Amino acid sequence: MIKTKQLSFEYESFVKEPGLKGSISDFFKRKTKTIQALKNNSITINDGDMVGLIGPNGAGKTTFIKLLTGILSPTHGSVIVDNQIPTYRANKYLKQVGILFGQKSQLTWDLPAIDTLNMLAYIYKIPHDKYINRKQTLINMLDAQEFINQPVRKLSLGQRVRCELICALIHEPKYLFLDEPTLGLDLLTQQHIYKFLRAENQQNHTTILITSHYLKDIEMLSDKLLILVDGNFVYQGQTNNIPIQPNQLDNFTCKYLKNNQTVTEKVPSNQLKTFINQIDSENIISIKREGVSLEAFVQKLYLEYKNK
């Protein structure tokens, strides 16, 4: 279980004055600025949960993952993961955790990913037979046979991310933290990764926390949703049960085929019945109510907090 209690984190950063004069005055007296990245948050994530974490740029998502993994320690409050304090970075704790930062690689550029895997097996002291089995299972599941032996610099982004995932999971961690893992990946690779992560969660009961700006990732992958805005968790709940309030005046976006062409039309709710009656059902592609999707819900929350 992951439990945070009144968790806050502040970065202290130097503010550089411009020009030579600024550099000289900074030399004698440096100005600092405090950034409150997380503010007094108490949340609970149960073991085996698939959790999506979203929030606008600078909301504090990466900081939260860094606190869960012990890379940073809280300024105030506490974090407990699997009954342990991550900041202590005990071997027992680190063996339970796998991390993937979409923008930072743990692979060595000039070496094949298989070398990094062998090194990780040594670091985590994975018994030889177990390592061979797990490695083969992950390589098969992520379809990585063709490129696992190639130097990382020769891999495409999608191939590299698949190798990163194999490395993050080689020691069968109980908790997997993924920070924007699908950044820049094509649709098929994204779907492959969704399928893989679902299987990992179901087979090994792995708790997975994923951050992403693609709401599709969150809808496809997570059962639970956390929304972080400006350092505050403003929503915790089920992904498929967001509090939707349909409005009588909502429009419907209707897509249908007319003379073999796709036509998109906005239809007011009071005219929907008449509109549908005029179209052959086999020509209807989709009818979507505006303002009730995850996207609309998230957009509304972001705007509410931005205008506060």
Residues that bind ligand ATP (CB under 6 A): 11, 13, 35, 37, 55, 57-63
At closest approach, how far in Å is the CB of 63 from ligand ATP?
Answer: 3
Task: Kindly tell me which of 57 and 278 has the beta carbon lying closer to ligand ATP.
Answer: 57
∠ CA 225-92-63, nearest 5°, is 40
Task: Kindly tell me which of 112 and 231 has the beta carbon lying closer to ligand ATP.
Answer: 231
At closest approach, how far in Å is the CB of 161 from ligand ATP?
Answer: 17
Task: Kindly tell me which of 49 and 179 has the beta carbon lying closer to ligand ATP.
Answer: 179
At closest approach, how far in Å is the CB of 198 from ligand ATP?
Answer: 24
Task: Kindly tell me which of 35 and 90 has the beta carbon lying closer to ligand ATP.
Answer: 35
Question: Quick one: 191 exposed, middle or buried, by C-beta within 10 A (0-12, 13-18, 19+)?
Answer: middle
Strand 76-81 with 50-54, pairing: unpaired
CA distance 97 to 85: 13
At closest approach, how far in Å is the CB of 299 from ligand ATP?
Answer: 16
At closest approach, how far in Å is the CB of 183 from ligand ATP?
Answer: 10
At closest approach, how far in Å is the CB of 154 from ligand ATP?
Answer: 28
Closest by CA to 184, choosing from 163, 156, 209, is 156
Secondary structure (3-state) at 214: coil
**Residue type (1 letter), 211:** T
Task: Kindly tell me which of 32 and 261 has the beta carbon lying closer to ligand ATP.
Answer: 32
Which residues face 252 on adjacent strands? 267, 289
Task: Kindly tell me which of 157 and 199 has the beta carbon lying closer to ligand ATP.
Answer: 157
At closest approach, how far in Å is the CB of 33 from ligand ATP?
Answer: 8
What are the DSSP E strand ranges found in the chain? 2-15, 31-45, 50-54, 76-81, 97-101, 175-179, 207-211, 224-229, 232-238, 251-258, 261-268, 284-289
Sheet holding 251-258, edge to edge: 261-268, 251-258, 284-289
Token look-up 């929350």 returns 301
Closest by CA to 75, choosing from 44, 34, 45, is 34
Task: Kindly tell me which of 120 and 298 has the beta carbon lying closer to ligand ATP.
Answer: 298
Determine how many CB atoms are found less than 10 A away from the CB of residue 237: 12
Task: Kindly tell me which of 112 and 181 has the beta carbon lying closer to ligand ATP.
Answer: 181
Secondary structure (3-state) at 227: strand
CA distance 121 to 240: 38
At closest approach, how far in Å is the CB of 59 from ligand ATP?
Answer: 4
